[in-house]
């Protein structure tokens, strides 16, 4: 098994304009989706995301652990960035199925 970056996440129920409070707390709203995977809304720590993103980039697998469950192999699909602050405001993760060709 390759040595992958690990990112912890929490599932979230806050959606819409209320995610502004998450960003003030240093959390980034995110979404996980993929083939035969139910989409899930999550939030991640902004500082941890910057570290992982600088290490793994956009095209390396990351182990995403949501609420302490088993690690999911994901790719960073899209990162929305605030142009004034140059910080991530939303991230989309694509969960890869490693058993498919």
CATH of the domain at 71: 2.40.240.10
Q: Is pLDDT of 1 > 60?
A: no
Strands 72-82 and 27-34: unpaired
Q: Which positions ≥6 away from 71 have C-beta within 8 Å? A: 6, 63, 64, 65
State the CB neighbour count (10 A cutoff) for residue 42. Answer: 21
Q: What residues are paired with 95 via a beta bridge?
A: 34, 74
Residue 100 lies in a domain: no
Q: How many helices (H) and strands (E) does the chain have?
A: 2, 6
Across all residues in the chain, what is the average pLDDT? 92
Q: How confident is the model at residue 100 (pLDDT cuts 50, 70, 90)?
A: confident
pLDDT (average), residues 12-18: 89
Per-residue model confidence (pLDDT) at position 14 = 85
pLDDT (average), residues 7-21: 92
Q: Which domain holds residue 81?
A: 5-95
pLDDT tens digits, one per residue of 56-74: 988 899 999 999 999 999 9
Residue 101 lies in a domain: no
Residue 90 lies in a domain: yes
| Total domain count, the chain | 1
């Amino acid at each position: 098994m390759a040595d992958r970056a690990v990112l912890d996440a929490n599932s979230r129920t806050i959606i819409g304009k209320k995610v502004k409070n998450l960003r003030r707390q240093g959390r980034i709203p995110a979404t996980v989706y993929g083939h035969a995977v139910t989409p899930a809304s999550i939030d991640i720590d902004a500082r941890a995301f910057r570290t992982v993103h600088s290490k793994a980039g956009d095209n390396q697998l990351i182990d995403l652990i949501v609420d302490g469950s088993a690690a999911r192999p994901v790719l960073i699909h899209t990162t929305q960035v605030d142009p004034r602050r140059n910080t991530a405001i939303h991230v989309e993760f694509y969960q890869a199925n490693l058993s498919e060709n």
